[in-house]
């Protein structure tokens, strides 16, 4: 069902409390190493301030545990980053619902922006605490959720805060709206052939995604380390590869359920050490010798996967095909990314690492949509519904 968006509400002279996902990576000097999540929230932010609204942004950063105030979890660098992107001052409150936040909210003028400190510095955020939510809700006239990466969470700012703003407008931002449009439409109304490519480290992270997509897709291609658990399930030899022995039975069930739909690698690029300059060899899938570990899909698999992608009308990709951070084991991931970039299919890239890979390889502009959500995009591909979105106003 379509949700009311931020552009559907009159914000002039009003205070908007917007949940964003500014959970950005920081280096040791607290520089933001990838500001994509801040940039992707700009359309909603601008929509409010350009129409004379007063904007309070709230987010979490990382998973602080009892270390409130620790600079490595502070949202302060995002205020400077956003200020540069907007070319205007962005105020920063050193707390969430304390004296500094209250004073800065009261001082906000039309067209100005304030960022509150990390919501998770307050225990109430993860607990969904009503008093904490009530204090945040009291700041504003309008609630907006533009935090796609956090939509699968039921933290206070995602659920209890909009619930506490009963009677006031509760809307989605442009980013959440766009992400849902791509990720849920791909599943509900895919143009066929619909091909999913799943990789990454663990089968256990993606069991529900594989299960759900096997019911919807025409082909599900499996790469990454999780392919070795499937190889083991087929009675193959996996040498020293990363495997999840307790998931072998489940892999057998998925192989049986998938039939021809499930495509596993036919060869493996392996090495005798987890490093770029190890001794390498390409072997048939399930024939990895002792002393070697699988680090990428092999060239035959890359070709097969690329051909399958070429014939697709919809492609969803989550998780790299190998250890793409360590050349030459980035070749399988590159081949798949290149095939997606070359294809005319609607292409959706989900997951933190696949998004990073497509960016790193320079193909981000040649795909239809790169999700800002890791866990949230997986949850959508599993077919989950989000309480944080369901409770917002209908259009």
Ligand X SMILES: Nc1ncnc2c1ncn2[C@@H]1O[C@H](COP(=O)(O)OP(=O)(O)OP(=O)(O)O)[C@@H](O)[C@H]1O
Q: Which residue is nearest to ligand 3PG (CB)?
A: 23
182: closest CA among 359, 321, 372, 387?
372
**Which of residues 75 and 217 has its CB atom nearest to ligand 3PG in the complex?**
75
DSSP 8-class letter at 71: G
- Residue 222: its H or E element: strand 219-222
Told to check if 273 binds ligand X by CB under 6 A, we report no
Told to check if 322 binds ligand X by CB under 6 A, we report yes
267: closest CA among 294, 307, 233?
294
- Known binding residue 206? Answer is yes
Told to check if 225 binds ligand X by CB under 6 A, we report yes
**Which of residues 239 and 319 has its CB atom nearest to ligand 3PG in the complex?**
319
Residue 133 phi, psi (nearest 5): -65, -40
d(C-alpha 299, C-alpha 289), whole Å: 18
**What's the chain's length in residues?**
395
d(C-alpha 320, C-alpha 18), whole Å: 32
Q: Is 375 a catalytic residue?
A: yes
Per partner kind, with CB cut-offs from 5 to 8 A, the member of ligand 3PG, ligand X, none near residue 153 is ligand 3PG
Q: Is 202 a catalytic residue?
A: yes
Q: Is 334 a catalytic residue?
A: no
The CA-based angle 150-180-190, given to 5 degrees, is: 135
Min dist. Cβ of residue 184 to ligand X (A): 18
Residue 105: how many other CB atoms lie within 10 Å: 20
- Known binding residue 354? Answer is yes
Told to check if 232 binds ligand X by CB under 6 A, we report no
Told to check if 124 binds ligand X by CB under 6 A, we report no
Residues 6+ away with beta carbon under 8 Å from 347: 314, 315, 316, 317, 340, 367, 368, 369
> Residues in contact with ligand X, total (CB under 6 A)?
20
Told to check if 146 binds ligand X by CB under 6 A, we report no
d(C-alpha 78, C-alpha 38), whole Å: 8
| Active-site residue, selected from the candidate residues 271, 352, 373, 374 | 352
Q: Is 236 a catalytic residue?
A: no
- Known binding residue 325? Answer is yes
Min dist. Cβ of residue 195 to ligand X (A): 17
- Known binding residue 352? Answer is yes
- Known binding residue 21? Answer is yes
Q: Per the structure block, which two tokens stand in for 44? A: 């909603």
d(C-alpha 330, C-alpha 333), whole Å: 5
Told to check if 201 binds ligand X by CB under 6 A, we report yes
Per CB under 6 A, the segment of 45-53, 96-104, 121-129, 200-208 that binds ligand X is: 200-208
Residue 215: how many other CB atoms lie within 10 Å: 12
The residues binding ligand X (CB under 6 A) are: 200-202, 205, 224-225, 242, 294-295, 318-320, 322-323, 325, 351-354, 374
Specify binding-site residues. Answer: 21-23, 37, 60-63, 120, 153, 206, 294, 325, 351-354
Catalytic annotation, residues? 37, 202, 352, 375
Specify binding-site residues for substrate. Answer: 21-23, 37, 60-63, 120, 153
Specify binding-site residues for ATP. Answer: 206, 294, 325, 351-354
């Amino acid at each position: 069902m379509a949700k009311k968006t931020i552009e559907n509400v009159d914000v002039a002279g009003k205070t908007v409390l917007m949940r964003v996902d500014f959970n950005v990576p920081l280096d040791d000097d607290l520089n933001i190493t990838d500001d994509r999540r801040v940039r992707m929230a700009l359309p909603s932010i601008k929509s409010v301030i350009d129409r004379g609204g007063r904007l309070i942004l709230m987010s979490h950063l990382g998973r602080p545990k009892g270390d409130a105030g620790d600079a490595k979890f502070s949202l302060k660098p995002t205020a400077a980053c956003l200020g540069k992107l907007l070319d205007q001052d962005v105020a920063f409150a050193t707390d969430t619902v304390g004296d500094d936040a209250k004073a800065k909210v009261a001082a906000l003028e039309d067209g100005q922006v304030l960022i509150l400190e990390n919501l998770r510095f307050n225990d109430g955020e993860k607990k969904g605490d009503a008093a904490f939510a009530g204090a945040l809700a009291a700041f504003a006239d309008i609630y907006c959720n533009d935090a796609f990466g956090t939509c699968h969470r039921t933290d206070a700012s995602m659920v209890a805060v909009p619930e506490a703003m009963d009677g006031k407008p509760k809307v989605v931002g442009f980013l959440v709206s766009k992400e849902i449009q791509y990720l849920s439409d791909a599943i509900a109304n895919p143009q066929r052939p619909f091909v999913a490519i799943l990789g990454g480290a663990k089968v256990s992270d993606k069991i529900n995604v594989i299960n759900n997509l096997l019911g919807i897709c025409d082909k599900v291609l499996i790469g990454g380390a999780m392919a070795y658990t499937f190889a083991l399930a087929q009675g193959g030899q996996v040498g020293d590869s990363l495997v999840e022995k307790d998931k072998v039975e489940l892999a057998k069930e998925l192989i049986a359920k998938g039939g021809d739909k499930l495509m596993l690698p036919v060869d493996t690029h392996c090495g005798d050490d987890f490093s770029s300059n190890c001794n390498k060899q390409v072997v048939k899938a399930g024939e990895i010798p002792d002393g070697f570990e699988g680090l990428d899909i092999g060239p035959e698999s890359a070709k097969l996967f690329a051909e399958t992608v070429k014939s697709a009308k919809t492609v969803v990709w989550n998780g790299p095909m190998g250890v793409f951070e360590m050349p030459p084991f980035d070749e399988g991931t590159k081949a798949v990314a290149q095939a997606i970039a070359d294809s005319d299919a609607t292409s959706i890239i989900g997951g933190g690492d696949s998004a990073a890979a497509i960016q790193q390889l320079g193909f981000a502009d040649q795909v239809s949509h790169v999700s800002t959500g890791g866990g949230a995009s997986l949850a959508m591909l599993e077919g989950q519904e989000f309480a944080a979105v369901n409770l917002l106003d209908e259009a």
